Chain A
């Protein structure tokens, strides 16, 4: 962009009047165009001099807005391409407004045919220049950000994406380049939306190392080697209600471990190309680094949460939910922000195989299923096997047997299986040991023997097989209190 003037306080002072001035020609031109249309359609009668008068001031206003806009642009901080488009469209508005005025006022008698196209062009350019101006100030997509879903498809705007971008898991954390693989993805996820080439809140760009190092209008955002004294960390640590807190209130926030990672990176001198193994990995940062390998953000969910709970599934069909509710089962989402559901037969002890087919209509959504103390048997398990995202399954005190378990072993998310009080035997436990996902299986009061548990443990050492107390083990447990046989008499201190 060419520079005509040296930037000074005066240029900025007048420049800031651009948003004030710019609305005058917008309004004036529209009024002129409307009057012209109204007059030509015969709806109104008015003298041409009125329109001429308005056009004159439109042209004056547009010209002043152009000058002020140029002065404002000298301050920088705008995306060049968009700014250039806006500038030329603005100049176009002024030029065509002048042409329209000259022709309307009949200063030049020839070329009256050009009048209408000139007016139309000026009006159209007002819209495009206005829109680009808005985008420069508020950021791209500001206008349509809150378009209701129904209109989005009509207008061809992509559906609003949820703000739940996840960090991609890092396979080999020691080989990861700290800035490129850890720091920048975190910034991309939470900061870059407002600090990028298009939109530079506080004059700051965070979409690259060079820009980050440059800092914003309030100076540098980090002090190499001093994480906690760096502005970008300080702002994250302020209470969310504080005006200076970043990301701003209401936006998705950085998790504690993410802040810890950024702090650690700055503490280590904010290197652009060092790997994790090149830096000093402190005890404190280890858990945060470990989280990166699992792909979780370490947010409110915590690290131990099952992968299945982050699955995105469709909203459960109301008809299916109603049908399941009708047989007395409890059906509800596991949380407000999730479509995954839990189903419980706590109020429906009569539930049996005949009804279990109903559940398959929610085969994507059901993750927690409680069918303990019901009449379900192996026949019903065939249907349950279709619930591919099943995570916790209660079958305690039901008629299921070893044969039914064959259907369950392939459920890839099944982690909890309660078989207390069933006829499961050692053979059944062996079948379950083949499941890759299963973590806890409960077999108290089943036909599984101590030996069967040992055998299953050989196949799956990490499987937690919980048996329980019988008479003998209770007797052993009671021995713990042998020291307490006699009632103690406190000795008086007097």
Chain B
């Protein structure tokens, strides 16, 4: 209701024309005189109060199981058939023509005509007390098998990277919706007042295909968008004060700027001004807090070894270590992107054999280390780790333009893929959902990306159907009109 009123007030101010302005100018002149008589009676920090409010810690709808999230997105989409979804039957069909039933009425990003089936390239075995199937691509993750809940029956609606990433992170394949992280900080704010509530770290040499929209704030106030930090060198550029500028002078400067911004806000009531004010304040505090939290030089050597990190590197491993340090400081949502998992088989780098093995080699150890590290610090039970990609890969070998690819590769696949979660209120050593014998369709307990989103919000203390934001005359939610909480994976 309050939000509706704010929107109304905002719309009203938009409608103020020059005529209105001139009309009120007469009174305005008088008021100006009065204003100077009254002096600065107004509270000087009123503006900052309103702005800071946006990021204050807020109360969830019900008691949360996960207070923080680390979302590890493997952009490009690794093959579930090489890592988790063991299909011995597919081995038998290796090199044979794909059955017609898999192709009728289906569209693929690249596959044309009748492709051949491609057997699993990894050596599978069962690990942990739970007997989770994993391949030799990921030997480190095998050691923490009993901490993990696998969802093997994920499915999505989009088979191209950018729309699929948008659907996964914002609930819609089109631009303009807030991301999961933005919804989280909109709903819960940030407990740590010196760090942003939603931090993004990217590795792999490229940003995700859908760009910054996958961690954007959409129609939510932009204070809720993800703050991307550099992982090598200075985490935030120009964060140190220049020579001759001491901290006190910086403080006064920012206070003066904010005071002017606050006056503008009082005139035009644009909530984006509040965002700007709070960002200035946040930037000021971050000057102290960010270099401290992003500095790994004080970490003991064995921790660096565990993740496989060398200080100064901007690798995925470094991002995992930073993610731990951030959640340790109560950052609400840490989003990791790692690019380069798109194993079509076109080059020595992008395929499901050596290429995928190399990506796993760079990421398997730090992910397993992250789970172990959070666990021993007592952080894992309130921190939800989510690992996955925007879609999966076909059981067929890709045949782009109808020709056999130079390397073993698989096309984008929306009918079935695997994601996993650990910590924050999900079961330990559990596997949800199944795919058919060839790993093409989910045949049991299918989980759509909207269901995943509903479940994540549920773990954070929100009913996804009641967690809404009014925009353009209707209430929007992350899952739009769909989504069902996957209760079976909740501990």
Q: Give chain A's interface residues, CB within 8 Å of chain B.
A: 256, 300-302, 304-305, 309, 330, 332-338, 340, 344, 346-347, 394, 396, 416, 418, 420, 440, 442, 444, 466-471, 474, 477-478, 480-484, 487-494
Contact = CB atoms under 8 A, between A and B. Distances in A.
B353 interface: yes
Contacts of A493: 345, 404-408
B377 A478 contact: no
Contacts, number: 141
A416 B65 CA distance: 13
Contacts of B475: none
B330 interface: yes
A135 to B, nearest CB: 33
B357 A469 contact: no
Given A301-B62, A493-B407, A494-B406, A469 B376 contact: yes
Nearest to A299: B62
B117 to A, nearest CB: 14
A334 B361 contact: no
A477 B375 CA distance: 15
B139 interface: yes
Contact of B57 (A300, A332, A418, A478): A332
A481 B361 CA distance: 8
Contacts of B157: none
A330 B57 contact: yes
Contacts of B213: none
A340 B373 CA distance: 30
A488 to B, nearest CB: 4
B281 interface: no
Contact of B377 (A442, A477, A491): A442
The 5 tightest CB contacts between A and B, nearest first, are A468-B376, A490-B354, A442-B378, A418-B378, A488-B354
Interface string B124-154: 0000000000001001101100000000000
A481 B63 contact: no
Interface stretch (B186-194, B228-236, B241-249): B186-194
A396 B378 contact: yes
Nearest to B136: A483
Contacts of B369: 477
A493 B372 CA distance: 38
B487 A444 contact: no
B306 A478 contact: yes
A471 B463 CA distance: 43
A300 B406 CA distance: 51
A167 B309 CA distance: 53
Contacts of B345: 493
19 contacts: A302-B491, A333-B59, A336-B61, A336-B62, A337-B62, A420-B378, A440-B378, A442-B377, A444-B376, A467-B376, A469-B306, A469-B372, A480-B143, A481-B140, A484-B357, A490-B348, A490-B355, A493-B345, A494-B406
Contacts of B139: 480-484
B378 A335 contact: no
A478 B305 contact: yes
A433 B60 CA distance: 33
Contacts of A484: 139, 357, 361, 364
A484 B137 CA distance: 8
Interface in B218-244: none
A440 B381 contact: yes
B389 to A, nearest CB: 20
Nearest to B348: A490
Given A302-B65, A396-B377, A494-B404, 7 more contacts: A301-B63, A302-B487, A335-B461, A466-B376, A478-B305, A483-B139, A493-B406
B140 A488 contact: no
Given A336-B62, A346-B329, A484-B139, A420 B355 contact: no
Interface of B: 57-65, 136, 139-140, 142-143, 191-194, 301-303, 305-306, 329-330, 345, 348, 351, 353-355, 357-358, 361, 364-365, 368-369, 372-373, 375-378, 381, 404-408, 458, 461, 463, 487, 490-491
A482 B140 CA distance: 10
Given A334-B63, A347-B194, A487-B358, A444 B377 contact: yes
A466 B57 CA distance: 29
A347 B354 contact: no
A491 B59 contact: no
Contacts of B461: 335
Contacts of A344: 191, 330
B376 A489 contact: no
A21 B139 CA distance: 83
A29 to B, nearest CB: 43
A474 B305 contact: yes
A346 B63 contact: no
Contacts of B365: 478, 481
B315 to A, nearest CB: 16
Nearest to A328: B193
Contacts of A334: 59-60, 63-64
B408 A469 contact: no
Nearest to A473: B302
B361 A309 contact: no
A460 to B, nearest CB: 18
Contacts of A474: 302-303, 305-306
A481 B142 CA distance: 10
Contacts of A469: 302-303, 306, 372-373, 376
B356 to A, nearest CB: 9
A442 B376 contact: yes
Nearest to A494: B406
Contact of B59 (A302, A332, A444, A471): A332
A484 B357 CA distance: 9
Contact of A466 (B143, B375, B463): B375
Nearest to B409: A493
A288 to B, nearest CB: 12
A463 to B, nearest CB: 14
Contacts of B458: 300
A337 B62 CA distance: 7
Contacts of B405: 493
A420 B328 CA distance: 13
A466 B357 CA distance: 32
Contacts of A337: 61-62
Contacts of A491: 353-354
Nearest to B304: A474
Most chain A CB within 10 A, of B57, B364, B369, is at B57
Contacts of A468: 372, 375-377
A420 B379 CA distance: 11
B358 A305 contact: no
A477 B303 CA distance: 11
Nearest to B404: A493
Contacts of B381: 416, 440
A207 to B, nearest CB: 31
B355 A335 contact: no
Given A304-B491, A484-B361, A394 B62 contact: no
Given A444-B376, A488-B354, A335 B62 contact: yes
Nearest to B463: A300
A297 to B, nearest CB: 13
A332 B194 CA distance: 18
Contacts of A478: 305-306, 365
Contacts of B61: 335-337
Contacts of B358: 487-488
Given A304-B491, A396-B377, A418-B378, A336 B59 contact: yes
Residue from A300, A338, A340 with most neighbouring chain B CB atoms (10 Å): A300
Given A347-B194, A469-B302, A469-B306, A338 B376 contact: no
Contacts of A470: 302
A487 B302 contact: no
Q: Pick from A332, A337, A483 the residue with the most CB of B within 10 Å.
A: A332
A479 B63 CA distance: 40
Nearest to B62: A335
